[in-house]
Structure 1
Amino acid sequence: MKHFTTALLLLAAQGTMAQSKAKAAKQAAPVTLAPFQRIEVKTTPWHKRPAVIYLPEAAKGERLPLILCMHGKSIAGDDVSKVFRQGVTRQVHEGKKIEAVNPKDGKRYKFIILAPLSDSWGLSPDQVNNVLDDVLKRYPIDSTRIYITGYSAGGWAVAMAVTDARLSKRLAAAVNMSPAAIEEPNMSSFRNTAKANLPTWYFAGAQESFFYDRTKMYIDSTNKYKRGLTRLSVGDHAHCCWEKYFNPAFRENGTSIYEWMLQYKR
């Protein structure tokens, strides 16, 4: 009986160890990038950063709109799989189709989706300009339909982009969620946004006072130079929940962010 009990205990212990190893192996398993590809993009003429890109099927010679995705601070570094935690990249990685019908022309569009990684915070306008110069030479991108979106620190990158003299003229529209504070010179540069006639749809949470206040400041600064370029959606949440808005099923007044972006081109 003693030997039988000992055998049972050994079997139980082995089973527990096997389960623990299986769990550890599962946790350690690398995140698959599909349907994205890992690439490197130039952020300066001499430096490159890792990125992921999604290239949908397209007809020969067809050029597609580009969505440039700016990540939050916790995603920064060299691990490209982190970009799937939030944003447009998360939606595609989970299997959702990021396609939309343009309300203006009634045509359905697919998007090329690009998410470059910053090393510590977010990409500056000069870095984003270099990224665009690089990818426009390599991929079938419609240069009249370049859209930018981001959240938190990525929202900083978007706000910096739309206030930059050169970059604002290259972008067709922007979607900015809970943006962080931008540099003071850029706070007085929303005239560039107005001159470029660049529309931005802002999102913020009613319970994230700092980011909500920043969002209002950016809208007011844009309106100072030109009204009608901004749109604001406020959710009942704190600094979170952006996946709700990036989901292609999300609609406000019957329009998703992807349908909204497509209304604008250069």
Structure 2
Amino acid sequence: MKALLPLLLALTLGATSLKAQQTAEKFVLETKYLLALPEGYGKDTSQRWPLVIFLHGAGETGLDLNKVKMHGPPKLVEAGKNFPFILVSPQTASFGWQPDVLYQLLQSLKKQYRVDNDRIYLTGLSMGGFGTWALGMKHPEEFAAIAPICGGGDTANIWRLRYTPVWCFHGAKDEVVPLTSSQKMVNALKQYNSNVQFTIYPEAAHDSWTATYDDPAFYTWLLAQRKHRFQPVKVDAKTLAGYNGRYTNRKNDTLTITSNGTSLDVKAPGHTLQLKAASPTVFYWEASAPIDVEFTKTGFVLRAEEREVFRKIK
């Protein structure tokens, strides 16, 4: 009997493997959110609208969605404010925002509502400020601008926001989230991005959001931003030909660049990418996130990773 059991198990597994099929499925974490549609949303079904995602703070965490109405844009809507954009205010049931969950929510919103994909904005306060930085850095390709309020985060991937307009806010007397939390993020980002504003309220403590969300100038700035898109330009053949050659980085990865008359072809083992010109020295290839290279006298800088340098092999 002992010898028969392994044999039966093997036969059973073998028979199962012959018949087994796999299908693609997905697990979706339920996320509740408040929705406010702009006036006129239902009239012209061809019109696309800006989308603002608001992330609440730690005090509004839980399962009671009404708590999200305590601060920020949802509070203003509850008081009768009509915004000229779709406002979505999700609620997290546990402490901290999960960028992957928010990203899936955003993809669902874009399918369900008439969203202008070039005008998607992200903002949040306190814990939501941290969430705004985190989601913005993980998926900069989604947002036309972000506005974190009294938040902070890890600066390791701050470079990914190099093309995203950012307006950051903080109270100078904040004892819950120190002012330095925002200062660290802003200072790091300014190395890569000149389109960064930082407003410090000299007398404000942790509540630096009421003044921000009550200010019409904030919404004027937000809605004026558009998602970054490279605009192709024509570069003369001589300039393009000057980039021909072999390049290597400190890991000894080798790439070959050749001009095809209107753009550049980059060849790596098993791959060929086409680089289009955004300027005589900055080139890009089409991807979901902005990926670009900048040529220098000695080689080029790849910005798919944080300033990875390739030198030209003579």
- 5+ residue gaps, structure 2: 1-25, 228-314
What is residue 150 of structure 2 aligned with on the other side?
178
Instruction: Describe how 1:213-252 pairs up with structure 2 within 5 A.
Output: 213-226=180-193, 228-235=194-201, 236-247=203-214, 250=215
Bigger strand fraction: 2
4+ residue stretches of structure 1 with deviation over 4 A?
none
Q: Does the aligned pair in 2 maintain the 1:151–1:176 contact within 8 Å?
A: yes
Question: Does the alignment pair 1:203 with 2:169?
Answer: yes
For 2:49 and 2:27, locate their aligned partners in 1 and report how far apart those are by CA, in whole Å: 25
What is residue 302 of structure 2 aligned with on the other side?
none
Q: How does the TM-score come out when normalised to structure 2?
A: 0.60
What is residue 93 of structure 2 aligned with on the other side?
119
What is residue 218 of structure 2 aligned with on the other side?
257
Question: Does the alignment pair 1:53 with 2:35?
Answer: yes
For 1:75 and 1:96, locate their aligned partners in 2 and report how far apart those are by CA, in whole Å: 21
Letter in 2 for 1:212: L
Question: Does the alignment pair 1:84 with 2:45?
Answer: no
Q: Which of residues 133, 157, 160 in structure 2 aligns to 1:189?
A: 157
Structure with more relative contact order (C-alpha pairs < 8 Å, separation 6 or more): 1
| Aligned sequence identity (%) | 24
Q: How does the TM-score come out when normalised to structure 1?
A: 0.71
User: CA deviation digits over 1:195-239, x for unaligned, max 9?
Assistant: xx001111111101643101110001101223x221011111100
Bigger helix fraction: 1
For 1:233 and 1:62, locate their aligned partners in 2 and report how far apart those are by CA, in whole Å: 34
Total equivalences in the alignment = 197
For 1:46 and 1:70, locate their aligned partners in 2 and report how far apart those are by CA, in whole Å: 19
**Shift of the alpha carbon at 1:129?**
1.1
Question: Does the alignment pair 1:161 with 2:122?
Answer: no
For 2:178 and 2:34, locate their aligned partners in 1 and report how far apart those are by CA, in whole Å: 27
Question: Relative to structure 2, which stretch is displaced further, 73-82 or 236-245?
Answer: 236-245
User: CA deviation digits over 1:32-52, x for unaligned, max 9?
Assistant: xxxxxxxxxxxx842211111
Higher alpha-carbon Rg: 2
**Shift of the alpha carbon at 1:241?**
4.4
Letter in 1 for 2:52: I
